[in-house]
Every structure is written in structure tokens, then in C-alpha cells.
Chain A
Amino acid sequence: MVKVVKVRGKSMAPTLAPGDYLIVTKARAIRSGFVILVNHPKFGVIVKRVTSVSNRLIELEGDGPESTASDALGEVALANVIGRVRLAITPTGLKKL
């Protein structure tokens, strides 16, 4: 599965900027540090970085200082992960993640 999505919001700055396009693929495993696309039960489809994985649950946070706090994001089930962001298509070029 390959999916293309567009970033809305600044919480992943400076890694990702609003308007960047992301190439997302299905991930066999999720590890800390991965940037993922996840269907959050409260916030909908969001892009965040994984900070920890345990017991089929993951914790997330944004790279930017203005990101929604990770305690507000809460833990999300691994089953909600849509995929891993592999590539960002930015106005200035490609960025591998």
C-alpha cells in the first residue's frame, strides 16, 4: 500500500511543513523515532513521531514546540497506524524520513 497525503498544521516543524506531501507505506514494524500516519480516535488522521512502543500501544508527539502535548494525544493502539512516512515532497525537493 502506498498512500499520498498532504500535511496540515505546523506541529511537525521543522521536519515537515504545512503543504508538504507525504509518501506513506504500510509498516511491518513500528519503532521509536518513526514518523507515522495514524488514525487517532480523537484527532482523526494525524502525522506524528513515535516516542515509544509497548504492549500494542504507541506514544506520539510532534517535532515542533507548538505540537499538541503527548499526554493530550494519549496512547494509540498499533492497529490504528495507517503507515510509515517514508518520503516528504516539499517545495524545495525531496526529504527522506
Chain B
Amino acid sequence: MLHSLISKFDSNIDMADAHCDIPCGIYDARIVTYYAVSALRQIDILLSLNEKGLSETGFAMQVARNTAKKEEMAEKCKHEARIIWGDFMKPKNQEDMAKCHDAAHAIMLAGSAVKQDLHREDGEKLVAAANAFAEIFWASKGVKTKKVKTPYAPNIEVVEPDL
């Protein structure tokens, strides 16, 4: 009863942290785009397996391995975006808040689509969503961005900080 009574004054009560981990303060959206590109690469590899003349067993093994990796990369992309979204992003106004949430949500949706099926456009959507998220992230830190093509397959444009 006393607890619920005091909780009505929450906005005036200071917090006392009982840390469970060590906040390092290191947040970097490049890891989100890194995993998005990796997921797209796995899609490309899977889509090209038919042309490799693999034995039935070899094909099955390769599909299993690349599918597992595709799902892992998509999940890591979602995971890293969630950390930045939840722990770092503190939008200053309603408009920024909406942009930030939309970008993070787009990663969640595209990441799930990449995991569920095998369409290149889903991978491209995930990279695009990661790029949009990265732009918002770097803008919030006052850092300019540039678009560069990855110097490795799938040679897709990613947003990088212009440091």
C-alpha cells in the first residue's frame, strides 16, 4: 500500500542504479549495417548454390549452413539495432522520435522477412532500413555521413560516418 502510494510521486523521486553490467557508452550504427550486409550476402550465396554443381549431399549441407548463417546475421542486425534504439537513442522531439521508431521498426520487419524466406529484395530492404537507421544515429551525434559501396560482395551502398 505504501509502495503504491509513493509510486504516485515517481516523477519527483531520484533513481539509484543497481547496475548489472558495465555501461561502456560505445554505440556505433556501423555494426547494424555490417550484419544487414552479411545477411544479404548469405541470401546471394544461397541463390547461387544451384549453379555450383554440388552433389545432393553437398547442396543440402551448404543450404543448411548458409540458411543458419543468414538467420543469425539477420537476428544480430535486429539485436544491435534494438540496443542502440533502446539504450542510446533519446530523440529530442516528437518528429525525431517518430523517425527513430519507424527506422528501428523497419529493421525488425525486414530482419524477420530475411529470416523467414529467401528473397533478395528482403535483404536489400534490410540494408536500406539499416542505412536509414544509421543516418538518424549519426545525425543524433552531429556526425556527417556518406554513402559508400562495400569493397566486397554484395557491393552494396552503405551509410558510413564521414569521420
Contacts and interface: CB of A to CB of B under 8 A. Distances in A.
A7 B18 contact: yes
A58 interface: no
Interface in A1-39: 3-12, 16, 18, 20-22, 37
A56 B11 CA distance: 34
Given A4-B13, A5-B13, A21-B13, A10 B3 contact: no
Interface of A: 3-12, 16, 18, 20-22, 37, 43-48, 62, 64, 66-68, 72, 89-91, 94
Given A46-B17, A62-B19, 19 more contacts: A3-B14, A6-B10, A8-B15, A9-B17, A9-B20, A11-B18, A21-B3, A21-B7, A43-B23, A45-B15, A45-B17, A46-B16, A46-B18, A46-B19, A47-B16, A62-B20, A64-B18, A68-B22, A89-B6
Contact of A6 (B2, B13, B21, B22): B13
Contacts of A90: 3
A22 B13 CA distance: 10
B14 A45 contact: yes
**Chain B interface, DSSP helix/strand/loop, else mixed:** mixed
Interface of B: 2-4, 6-7, 10, 13-23
Contacts of A3: 14
A7 B7 CA distance: 12
Contacts of B21: 66, 68
A50 to B, nearest CB: 14
Given A11-B19, A11-B20, A67-B19, A89 B3 contact: yes
A67 B19 CA distance: 6
A6 B6 CA distance: 10
